[in-house]
Structure 1
Amino acid sequence: MAALAGGGYAGLRAWPIGKEGARITLDGDARRGAYLARAAGCVACHTDTAAEGPALAGGAALDTPFGSFVPPNITPDFEHGIGSWTPEDLGRALREGISPDGEPYYPAFPFEFYAGFSDQDIADLWAALATVPPVAETRGETDMRFPFSMRSGLKLWRATALLEAESAPVLGRSKEWNRGRELVEGAAHCGACHTGRGLLGGLDATSFGGNDDLPGGSVAPSIRAAALKDAGWTANALAYALETGITPAGDVFGGSMTEVVEQGTSFLDEADRRAIAAYLLDPETELSEIDALAQLR
């Protein structure tokens, strides 16, 4: 039995994951990359703002039933950060959830939402991260409970529970709505918090229904269109809240949503905040003018 278990573990270790991508040789736009880093929550997650930690030098621990996840240092420091990485390493980490040495990342890192990032997105993020001051420190280590501490087991999880986000444009929808879809379903990864998870931590197939069991005991409400409208949200109110954190009732966001706004959505331009609101409040597929005319024939 021990030999069988050992053989199974060795097989998992040897099981290749991911795919070999082409070199990323595009010139990056650091300004666009910084904007994308805000939209994608990189700053909010990888900066311990409560402890006034350095930007992107590592975030506060996320306590879950599987153990404690600590967002790592992603400054250009060679020893403690990602200074030894290549743009391809960054692309593989973000789009596939695989480290430079080929190990799978835990799903606390929402890589499934970044799968649609283009090579230009990766080049822009790489250029932006290169401008961050390197920080020669590690702010903690991820500490997983057995058997979740066996990272190779994540290969089985990827094969059974991983759901990649769908953020591609929908034919017949407005440019604003599709931009909202790109952000909500992709970079902004709203579903990572506002969607429930199964026993193994995989996202439920039905999105945005709320999550009562976030790390640290936080709760994320449903952000489905009906729930938002029942709670008094309008497109104007939602766009305003993403900028200020103030709700239609005059209250303010609490929990992790505070950091999402302060370190992320408040930095987005008004058009993108309105696009997010347009998508969340009108998720149904809208017929294009041509499709509508065709139905009248």
Structure 2
Amino acid sequence: MRGLFRFGIIAAILGGAFIGAVASWPIGKEETLGMLQGDPYRGAYLARSGGCIACHTNVDAGTPALAGGAPLETPFGTFVPPNITADPIGGIGGWTMDQFAVALRQGVSPDGQAYYPAFPYEFYAAFSDQDIADLWAAMQTVPPAGQAAAPHDLGFPFNQRWSLKLWRAAFLQPVTDLSPVMGKSDAWNRGQELVNGAAHCAACHTGRNLLGGLKPSEQFLGNDALPGGNTAPSITATDLAAGGWNEAAITYALRTGLMPDGDVFGGSMAEAVRDGTSFLDEADRQAIAAYLMDGKGPAAQQPADNGMAGMAHEGMTMN
């Protein structure tokens, strides 16, 4: 009995030391954008294409724009998208643009804490400094909302934020390269940039493991376990074609929410159209359609060099 007690003490000490070591493990790296000037008009477009408004505005509750989104019910608990207005207390008005860049591209808060992957920062890792500056400039034009969003409501052990560092080490797959692909059209390459980056389509349309990590082998094959009991269908080129979709139908649906069979989008996709894709340029909606209906081709070809012209670079988002 004494031996078991002694073992328990040793285990507790070792466990505490492990937690302490992980908790003190630094993540994220400093970013410096300098005095880069942002274009708020382009930033607003980026916010629409990236789903910022859909996620961080609770339309049903009548909250101000970007003052906090509707709660997301998941097997891990309830996540509440925060207030990202420029209010210094309730929102992110006390941040610097450099801290904003770290949060958006690395998923790390100004105090060095990891964000939960309900915030799809891994898809924003390839955003340029100018993208960040433009989005930051746009955020400054939104009226500040002083009321902070409600905190997440998570059960143990998911409420132990230090454990996210282990999650990141095991599952984080940042999208860092959205370079144009040789042999593909400008529209396809623009679609690749939007689908795999700003619009983060895989966040909903790809299966996840029991701990919430994306399954690369199931990219775009759909997900039956979205927050709130929602589902997302497969959007591979083969399955889309089998369901009666073509480029024209996708382009139209991204503007109106109307599907080829006459039904309309529901759930989170309806919100994505209402607050996001319906505001995009028609050329960008067509680009998304061109990419999805072609997929990645037999294999991703070698990226073009930096001198390849013809890309309209207006891509972008934050939970």
Distance 1:78 1:18 in 2: 23
Distance 1:140 1:155 in 2: 23
> 2:183 corresponds to which residue?
172
Distance 1:140 1:168 in 2: 38
On the 8 A contact 1:239/1:277 being kept in 2, the answer is: yes
> 1:267 corresponds to which residue?
279
Q: CA RMSD, aligned part only? A: 1.3
SS in 2 for 1:176: helix
1:1-297 equivalence runs, <5 A: 1-165=11-175, 166-206=177-217, 207-285=219-297
On the 8 A contact 2:224/2:230 being kept in 1, the answer is: yes
The one-letter amino acid of 2:113's match is: E
> 1:293 corresponds to which residue?
none
User: For residues 122-171 of structure 1, what are the alpha-carbon distances to aligned partners after superposition, in whole Å with 9 as ceiling and x for unaligned?
Assistant: 00001000000000112311111111111110001101111123533212
On the 8 A contact 1:24/1:119 being kept in 2, the answer is: no
Identity %: 60
The one-letter amino acid of 2:263's match is: D
> 1:295 corresponds to which residue?
none
User: For residues 81-116 of structure 1, what are the alpha-carbon distances to aligned partners after superposition, in whole Å with 9 as ceiling and x for unaligned?
Assistant: 000001111111110000010000000000000000
On the 8 A contact 1:62/1:70 being kept in 2, the answer is: yes
Unpaired runs of 5+ in structure 1?
289-297
Distance 2:247 2:241 in 1: 10
The one-letter amino acid of 2:216's match is: A
Give, in angstroms, the shift of residue 176 of structure 1.
0.7
Distance 1:236 1:16 in 2: 48
Distance 2:28 2:148 in 1: 27
Distance 1:169 1:14 in 2: 39
SS in 2 for 1:53: coil
SS in 2 for 1:106: coil
On the 8 A contact 2:223/2:231 being kept in 1, the answer is: yes
TM-score by length of structure 2 reads: 0.88
SS in 2 for 1:63: strand
Go from structure 1 to structure 2 and tell me whether the alpha carbon gap of 1:265 and 1:24 turns closer, same or farther (over 3 Å shift): farther
The one-letter amino acid of 1:161's match is: F
Give, in angstroms, the shift of residue 19 of structure 1.
1.8
User: For residues 168-223 of structure 1, what are the alpha-carbon distances to aligned partners after superposition, in whole Å with 9 as ceiling and x for unaligned?
Assistant: 32122111100000000000000000111001100011310000000000010000
Give, in angstroms, the shift of residue 57 of structure 1.
0.1
Give the structure, 1 or 2, with the largest relative contact order (CA under 8 Å, sep 6 or more): 2
Instruction: Give the paired residue count.
Output: 288
TM-score by length of structure 1 reads: 0.95
The one-letter amino acid of 2:44's match is: A
Go from structure 1 to structure 2 and tell me whether the alpha carbon gap of 1:24 and 1:190 turns closer, same or farther (over 3 Å shift): farther
On the 8 A contact 1:243/1:267 being kept in 2, the answer is: yes
Structure 1 stretch displaced more, 15-24 or 100-109 = 15-24
Give, in angstroms, the shift of residue 285 of structure 1.
3.4
SS in 2 for 1:68: strand
SS in 2 for 1:124: helix
Give, in angstroms, the shift of residue 22 of structure 1.
2.3
Distance 2:34 2:15 in 1: 40
> 2:8 corresponds to which residue?
none
SS in 1 for 2:216: coil
On the 8 A contact 2:89/2:148 being kept in 1, the answer is: no
Give, in angstroms, the shift of residue 284 of structure 1.
3.5
Structure 1 stretch displaced more, 127-136 or 21-30 = 21-30
SS in 2 for 1:19: coil
On the 8 A contact 1:24/1:123 being kept in 2, the answer is: no
Give, in angstroms, the shift of residue 25 of structure 1.
2.1
> 1:294 corresponds to which residue?
none
SS in 2 for 1:16: coil
On the 8 A contact 2:33/2:129 being kept in 1, the answer is: no
